[in-house]
A and B are shown apart, each in its own frame.
Chain A
Amino acid sequence: MTKMSGAQALLESLERQKVNTIFGILGGAILPVYDELNYHKKIRHILARHEQCAAHEAEGYARASGRVGVCMATSGPGATNLVTGIADAYMDSVPIVALTGQVPSSGVNTSYMIGRDAFQEADIIGIVTAVTKYSYQPRHISEIPSMVNNAFYLAGTGRPGPVLIDMPKNVQTGVADVEFTNKISLRGYKLITEPKPQKISEASDLLAKAERPIILVGGGAITSGASHEIVQMSDLLMAPVATTFMGKGAFPETHPMSLGSVGMHGNPAANRLIGEADVLLAVGTRFSDRATANLDTFASHAKKIQIEIDNAEINKNIEVDVAILADAKIAMRVLLQATKEKLQKGEGKAWTKRVKEAKEQLSPLLKDRPRDIVPKHLLAALRELLPDNGIVTTEVGQNQMWSALYLKALKPRTFISSGGLGTMGFGFPAAIGAKVACPDRPVVDIAGDGSFIMSEQELACSVTEDIPVIAIVLNNSVLGMVAQWQRTLYDRRYNAVKLGKSPDFVKLADAYGAQGFRANSIEEFQKAVKTALASKVTTVIDVPISSECDVVPFVPPGCGLPQQMGDY
């Protein structure tokens, strides 16, 4: 037992969790923690320029590194500004811990107490209940170490997600005896990681007999690190592998059996073959509507096996034949062994041929290299310049779907994008977070002009904190994805989508002390990317493109996966 302040107890607890970075913005109700930070030099604080971005930076850090990201804000507006980032982390199962200041829970001057609508008071726990895995508000200093332990354990295990710790100011400043512990006290937290043998047996029966097996990989495979096992399973079964948007990177997209990502803007070969398969092995996916399109026609010829860590995701959107409640990596390892023992060699020739044929006919191939400055050529050019382990983040909209279609991800945790919530403004702060986690690797945000201006102020953070990232702005002067919907589904009745030519992104970069380039050709683009990769300075590359360039193919809402429209 040691006497210390609540702020000190918090920071020592964070150090015990090996936290080395906090993304945040300070304010009155969190000042005691910031004061205490002066004495904890192992923790680097990165001053975001908006709390939402602090949360996205923590997400980018977490998704690039696999560790728990930490963000911090003051009470009231600081806390509510975090909410979009927290909701984003909840939808995409990203482990972050959000720390917020709170007005005092008690004190000498009782007019400043929680529940009295004090200055900068917000009921942040009430607000985030629906978008956090759990939240804590210590009422006594002695509770802090166990709450921090529990928070990191909850955030990072099982199906990861955001956990919030709301720190009343009097708990930060007060002094009490504190005891540190490694104990986790969560009797209601049911973590099941080992698969039931019976389920493995049923699943391996189906897989061993499958004539047209297909593997669908989601974000859970990346979280659990199951990539290696998935490659082995694909090789064993000669099964093609499609990923959901969140699963992109879990399977190398240069592998002959890779179909790319499935869904509304999925790769046509993936969308088509899922409908032809007789057994679907789904690994770590919740069958989001963007991945499945119409639920009734999704993989309708296939027996379905689902490996999933979250029991509530089993039979939620799609009814499956065999549900394996387990960690994806552990389950895949056991399933691989069981399937190997049952498999009859020498089958599946016809399916392999079909996969090859579908890929050739349906993939958005880049046979020619026209000079047009269109996203598919830009992204192919970027892939050639970026090392295999280079990290790509995206904003949300057309830029994101083009990246999913045309930018091959080769390794897990190298493609980071806001999938579930679809948060515009995510990519740039996420790139900053990823760069902090992986300082030796290039990090590129593929942006649209509409999304980029939602978090452009983080250029200041990137420059002043010396976190050099590259933003590529595919600048079509419109809010492109909604413009595309208005063009195709609303008979070109455009409304509220035109952004015009403002701002000038090169001058904007300059204003923030970053370097800006404009690329009017593929060659200029390649040159700008090369310069940016070599220079270790925050760079914005503005690439003017046509405002009528669509993301195709496109499965309209309500249609099944093979009902894609558009040439590609």
Chain B
Amino acid sequence: MEAGKTKIISVLVENKPGVLHMIANLFRRRNFNIESITVGPTEQKDIARMTITVNEGEKTVEQVIKQVAKQIDVLKVAELEQGNYVMRELALIKVKVDDSKERSDIINFVNVFRGRIIDVSTDSITVEITGAPDKIDAFLNLMRTFGIMELARTGITALQRGAKSIRIDE
């Protein structure tokens, strides 16, 4: 399979059980690799949006889109235009704190990265940070020096920029 760069595919699906299984199974069966996938409801509650990140070449992405579009529960599928979308990922990071010096260092880093502290205990700080995945990666590298106790990342979610939308009626 030809090498590619990260591409984001936005998929509108029927919001009902079994759809995620069907999509995940399709990727496995067709030998496409998912980098990340996020799912959640849209402005219409019977429709869910899946944001799928893949790292594949043009030809494979074309096949991915066609195979996904063919699924009966898929209402719409489109690749987000390169460089013309907004994307965010959210991470929750629990960091080990040994002393007050470390505590204030961590707080400073969180401020620089415009994260938020959402929980504090005597031995830990839990941070919420959103942004592009490379920003989160950079922040995680800093936190590793203190010791990451637990980490949860959501994967990428994204929308097309401007008034142009991926909607079932457009």
Which residues of A come within 8 Å of B, CB atoms?
Answer: 125-126, 129-130, 133-134, 154, 186-190, 310-312, 314-316
Q: B45 interface residue, CB < 8 Å from A?
A: no
A311 to B72, CA, bound (A): 14
Q: Residue on B with the closest CB to A310?
A: B70
Of the candidates B14, B63, B75, the one whose C-beta lies within 8 Å of that of A312 is: B63
B141 lies within 8 A of chain A by Cβ: no
- Closest CB of chain A to B66's CB: distance in Å? 4
Interface hit among B18-26, B101-109, B123-131, B145-153: B18-26
Q: Given A130-B26, A311-B70, A312-B70, list of 15 further CB < 8 A pairs?
A: A129-B21, A133-B72, A134-B72, A154-B72, A187-B75, A188-B13, A188-B14, A188-B72, A188-B74, A311-B66, A311-B69, A312-B66, A315-B59, A315-B63, A316-B66
Known: A312-B67, A315-B62, A316-B63. A129 touches B72 (CB 8 A): no
Chain A residues closer than 8 Å to B67, beta-carbon distance = 312
Which DSSP category, helix, strand, loop or mixed, fits chain B's interface? Answer: helix
Shortest A477–chain B CB gap in Å is: 38
Residues of A near B66 (CB, < 8 A) are: 311-312, 314, 316
With A188-B14, A312-B66, A315-B62 given, is the CB distance from A130 to B72 under 8 Å? no
B79 CB-CB contact with A under 8 Å:
no
Q: Which 8 A-B pairs have the closest CB atoms?
A: A312-B66, A134-B72, A188-B75, A130-B29, A129-B25, A312-B70, A312-B67, A188-B72
Contacts of A130 in B (CB 8 A): 25-26, 29
Instruction: Tally B residues with Cβ within 8 Å of A.
Output: 21
Binding site for A on B (CB under 8 A): 13-14, 18, 21-22, 25-26, 29, 59, 62-63, 66-67, 69-75, 168
Q: Provide the bound-state CA to CA distance between A249 and B155, in Å.
A: 51
* Chain A proximity of B115: nearest CB distance (Å): 39
A154 to B73, CA, bound (A): 12
Closest to B24 in A: A129
Q: Could you tell me if B18 and A125 are in contact, using CB atoms closer than 8 angstroms?
A: yes
> What residues of B have a CB within 8 angstroms of the CB of A310 in the complex?
70
Considering the chains assembled together, what is the distance between the CA atoms of A112 and B29 in angstroms? 32
Complex CA–CA separation, A69 to B157 (angstroms) = 43
B22 to chain A: closest residue by CB: A129
A and B contact pairs by CB, cutoff 8 A, 5 listed: A130-B26, A188-B14, A311-B66, A312-B69, A316-B66
Q: In the docked arrangement, what's the CA distance between A257 and B25, Å? A: 44
Residues of A within 8 A of B75 (CB): 187-188
